[in-house]
Chain A
Amino acid sequence: DIQMTQSPSSLSASVGDRVTITCRASQTIASYLNWYQQKPGKAPNLLIYAASSLQSGVPSRFSGSGSGTDFTLSISSLQPEDFGTYYCQQSYNTPTFGQGTKVEIK
């Protein structure tokens, strides 16, 4: 199985801050990388697919980059509603998720 490692595990940032979450794959996965946001008690929601494509309806402050083994999710200006846990997921072969990054608003 391909292992996905996210960092940091959690972060606390202020409204308006730029936030960056990284995800590293244990082997190359080209651009077969998706990002999801999950709020407490809710199902995950697709944010970014194919490493850098924004899902319809997702605010443009979210962006993704990377290919191969190293990927990044960025939030350009953190908003109060962006709290939650973010997961990367590879679909190069049978799916695996990163362990998640919990984002809190200061």
Chain B
Amino acid sequence: EVQLVESGGGLVKPGGSLRLSCAASGFIFSDPWMSWVRQAPGKGLEWVGRIKSKTDGGTTDYAAPVKGRFTVSRDDSKNTLYLQMDSLKTEDTAVYYCSTLLTFGGVIVMAYWGQGTLVTVSS
């Protein structure tokens, strides 16, 4: 069974940093691309960033609001995805989900999701 478990959320002051982790099990972690998605309180889903598999180059892409402040990385030996968040702003307050990116019918889908971890940026 695929399991994704996020951790590392909490309360941080504006301008601070936080690192989220996503521990994966039930599949070969090195195979799929992985992604972070966030959801501000009472709001919709917002894609944050993704990292390709090492086989596909291991490169990263980011949404405009977080580019230059957030970094997605992966440690395939530890079956773990990371999100390093620097220069945090109050508008980064959200539940952060990790998800696997798989190709179904030629289309990339967010097939499996973790339960999410809450990040609150407040003074």
Residues of A within 8 A of B (CB): 1, 31-34, 36, 38, 42-46, 49-50, 53, 55, 85, 87, 89, 91, 94-100
Q: Using a Cβ–Cβ cut-off of 8 Å, how many residues does chain B contribute to the interface with A?
A: 23
Report A-chain residues with C-beta under 8 Å of the C-beta of B63: 94
A-B contact pairs, 25 of them (CB 8 A): A1-B64, A32-B107, A34-B109, A34-B110, A36-B45, A43-B115, A46-B109, A46-B111, A49-B104, A49-B105, A50-B104, A50-B105, A50-B106, A50-B107, A53-B105, A55-B104, A87-B44, A89-B110, A91-B107, A91-B108, A94-B50, A94-B63, A95-B108, A95-B110, A100-B44
Interface pair B113/A44, CB less than 8 Å apart: yes
Residues of B within 8 A of A (CB): 35, 37, 44-47, 50, 61, 63-64, 97, 104-111, 113-116
What CA separation (Å) do A42 and B47 show in the bound complex? 17
B5 smallest CB distance to A (angstroms):
12
